[in-house]
A and B are shown apart, each in its own frame.
Chain A
Amino acid sequence: GAGVSQSPSNKVTEKGKDVELRCDPISGHTALYWYRQRLGQGLEFLIYFQGNSAPDKSGLPSDRFSAERTGESVSTLTIQRTQQEDSAVYLCASSLLGLAGPPYNEQFFGPGTRLTVL
């Protein structure tokens, strides 16, 4: 079946512009996750959705970052007034159940969106 998809695959923007990144999870997966990975760095957890609610938003780096999810479907990560330090690969993952649902909490990743802020 289809895996997690993300769009766009690459995004180049100018400092101060807003960007929207989209994630389509695996069909039937109730949980969806956003991560950021800067070049040569580890994965940084941003937010996770169980259905369309987010139990923990504390991973979002600043109030310029927001995310929403429609039902158990597509999610959008929005970055307002982008800064150069926002340049990174933004990864989305989904799992059948949420973090508290072993053994169905395995996360499967999309290919990522590479964001470059000039």
Chain B
Amino acid sequence: QKEVEQNSGPLSVPEGAIASLNCTYSDRVSQSFFWYRQYSGKSPELIMSIYSNGDKEDGRFTAQLNKASQYVSLLIRDSQPSDSATYLCAVIAGNNRKLIWGLGTSLAVNP
């Protein structure tokens, strides 16, 4: 089992819809979780961090964490074509020695 797993996609949604991106992780004691956006040819850009169970909202973005199920998700409301990118989930290992990355989900928002 990979340490951090994401569906590679592509996930295709129409403009204005909600995009739902999912991530599962294997280390039960992980405490820090991040979502990054990466446009083609660019470096990753932090969207959200989440540390506690439940939801965290920032503008059109909502991160959801369920530590019991070892699951973290990102919802993008009112999706825009400019949201088209690869979304990376990252989890700090329980021993706090490294940040483990998923391979990313490619999102396409169609006008």
Interface residues of A (CB under 8 A from B): 33, 41-43, 45, 48, 55-56, 59, 89, 91, 98-100, 102-103, 105-112
Contacts and interface: CB of A to CB of B under 8 A. Distances in A.
A49 B91 CA distance: 18
Interface size for chain B: under 10, 10 to 19, 20 to 34, or 35 or more residues?
A: 20 to 34
A109 B45 contact: yes
Given A59-B98, A107-B99, A109-B45, A43 B92 contact: no
Contacts, number: 56
Contacts of A42: 88, 101-104
Given A91-B43, A109-B45, A102 B101 contact: no
A45 B34 CA distance: 15
A67 to B, nearest CB: 14
Contacts of B88: 42-43
B53 interface: no
B46 interface: yes
Interface of B: 31-32, 34, 42-46, 49, 51, 88, 90, 92, 96-104
A98 B92 CA distance: 11
A45 B42 CA distance: 17
A104 B50 CA distance: 11
Contacts of B103: 41-42
A116 B101 CA distance: 24
Given A106-B46, A109-B43, A43 B98 contact: no
Contacts of B49: 102-103, 106
Contacts of A48: 97-99
